[in-house]
Amino acid sequence: MVKNKRWELVVFDVSGTLQESDPTSPLYPHVWDALVQLKERGVKVALATNLSIRGLEMFFECHPDVRGLVDSYSCAGLASPKPSSDMMELILLEHDVGKKDVLMVGDTEADVWFAKNAGVACCFVDWVGRTNHCGEISEFRAFNKEELFKALNLS
């Protein structure tokens, strides 16, 4: 397991990770705190979501402050959906970082396999008690703010 890693790029899923599944629902407060702290530390932030282009646009319309914290994004419609690694490959093309310096944060099996298929580390998050085997195959698991911040090396 990778510990005390300073990530250069953190890629977040949207639905279920940053917020509940509706693009108009509020962000989880601890995730907002993480996004802000990552940017303050100079870490690049990206989004990779199976939302459609319109769904991602709706998310940004409802959360305009997030757009200023995100360096890049990809979604279904721009690339093959997760668990294909296509979205990650597009994101990596925009940033000069090695795969060993990238952490994917997501809440589904597709997110974990997306990270694995792309060759990057993964933090499986479960904010609502849907725990499954995904936490066993990811490098990190987070069920609360403290565990997320530890995985992101923000604690």
Distances from the Cα of 70 to the Cα of 29, 52, 130, 135, 146, angstroms = 17, 17, 27, 25, 22
Q: What is the mean pLDDT of residues 132-143?
A: 81
pLDDT the model gives residue 131: 61
Mean pLDDT of the chain: 92
Model-level pTM?
A: 0.95
CA-angle at 94, arms to 72 and 96, nearest 5°: 120
Q: How many residues does the chain have?
A: 155
Give the residue, 56 or 136, on which the prediction is more confident: 56
Terminal alpha carbon distance of the chain:
17
Longest distance between any two alpha carbons in the chain, whole Å:
37
Q: For residue 151, give both structure tokens.
A: 């995985």
pLDDT the model gives residue 2: 63
Lowest mean pLDDT among 20-24, 85-89, 99-103, 107-111: 20-24
State residue 7 phi and psi, 5-degree precision. Answer: -75, 145
Q: Which domains does the chain have, with CATH numbers?
A: 9-151 (3.40.50.1000)
Distances from the Cα of 87 to the Cα of 46, 48, 49, 115, angstroms = 10, 6, 8, 10
Confidence bin at 22 (pLDDT 50/70/90):
confident
